[in-house]
Amino acid sequence: MDAQSSVSEFKGIQPLEYFQQHIENGIRVDGRRSLHDFRPVTISQGTISSADGSAVIKQGNSVFVCGIKLELAPPNPNEQNKGFIVANVDLPPLCHSQFKPGPPSEQAQVASKFVKEVLENSGIVKLEDLNIKEGKLSWVVNVDIMCLNHDGNVLDCALKALLMAFTDLTLPEVTLQEDDEAVVETGGKIVVNNEKRSKLTLHSKPIACSMAIFDEKILVDPTEQEEALAESLVTVVLDANSGDLVHFYKPGGSSISRQKMQECTGLAKKQYKTIAKSIDQAGVVTKMDSKQSK
């Protein structure tokens, strides 16, 4: 029996043992040289021409696309000076065999909720900025994040796609005819100038770092296989502008000590600096690698 076939047999028969031996030697099954490296990230912005803001991000084999569409609507009577953000994460059957057609899976719902919480906690977009005329007209920002290929780390990728789509987003200029009561209902007196567009002010830069804990070791940016075998998953979201903790998401799994929690935050801090820098430089296509951080 040659070496090649015995390795693949070992992998097939004893997946956990195969995985464990990699981790013990400080390397990853997908070829990464360190447990704390993240996979290469490729970002391209403005890929969907019909959307008002869009981005595609590829992190290893995970591919996510985020599109933002704008709509006009009268503001909520209770919050007359605010707009709306509607965010949704979709994990369709085409991204992984574990998802079936029909109503959104539990994982998709949890990811949607997570993205919403990060939007709220970080205050990235002030809802007041989305108001055009108090009590009359506001923007509705529809954010759709879709997974095209699922290879782990849904939360990090979804959040990166969201952030990049927001940086790409431009709002057209809207002029409103004065003293008209039924402006919104009739829609006749609103002039949208699609030629003149302006960027939306972003007040923070939330960057997520997900980690899988396996045998007391922390694996940064886990793949789908690593997520399935891990004892617990932790996602730390930090604001790259202020360094504040925006989210520390740990949904059950095995327990971690406070020391380990600090270690996780420390690792996330190391990662976000590299990512934030690359995002700032993002033109049409940006490539980044964990090697750049060293």
Partner 1 sequence: MPVKDKALELRPLFAQLGLLGHTDGSVMFSLGQTAVICGVYGPAEVKPHKERLEGATVEISLRPPSGPTGLQEKAKEAVLKGLVESSILGSLHPRTSVFVSLQPLDMDGGELAAAVNATCLALMDCSISMRCLFASVEVTRTEDGIILLDPSQKQATKAVAKATFVFESVNQDVLASHLEGRWSEKAFQAGLQAALDGSKAIFQFYRETVKRKFSKELMMK
Q: CA–CA separation, 171 vs 53, rounded Å?
A: 9
Cα(162)–Cα(119) distance, integer angstroms? 10
Q: Site residues for partner 1, window 260-289 (CB under 8 A)?
A: 261, 265
Q: Rule CB under 8 A: is residue 18 a binding residue for partner 1?
A: no
Query: Applying CB under 8 A, does 84 fall inside the site for partner 1?
Result: no
Q: Is residue 110 a contact point for partner 1 (CB under 8 A)?
A: yes
205 forms part of the interface with partner 1 (CB under 8 A): no
Residue with smaller CB distance to partner 1, 123 or 172: 123
Give the one residue of 98, 189, 251, 277 binding partner 1; rule: CB under 8 A.
251
Distance CA 226, CA 61 (A): 13
Q: Is 98 a residue that touches partner 1 (CB under 8 A)? A: no
Q: What part of residues 113-152 is at the interface with partner 1 (CB under 8 A)?
A: 113-114, 116-117, 120-123
**Residue among 190, 228, 196 at smallest CA distance from 212:** 228
Q: How far is the CB of 36 from partner 1 (least distance, A)?
A: 20
Q: Which is nearer to partner 1, 84 or 248 (CB)?
A: 248
**Beta bridge mates, 174:** 192
Q: Does 254 bind partner 1 (CB under 8 A)?
A: yes
Cα 149 to Cα 46: distance, rounded to the nearest angstrom: 20
Among 45, 59, 112, 131, binds partner 1 (CB under 8 A): 112
Residues 6+ apart with CB under 8 A from 165: 45, 51, 53, 54, 55, 66, 67, 68, 143
Q: Does 109 bind partner 1 (CB under 8 A)?
A: yes
Pairing of strands 41-45, 53-59: antiparallel
Looking up tokens 């801090």 gives: 269
Residues that bind partner 1 (CB under 8 A): 106, 109-110, 112-114, 116-117, 120-123, 232, 239, 242-258, 261, 265
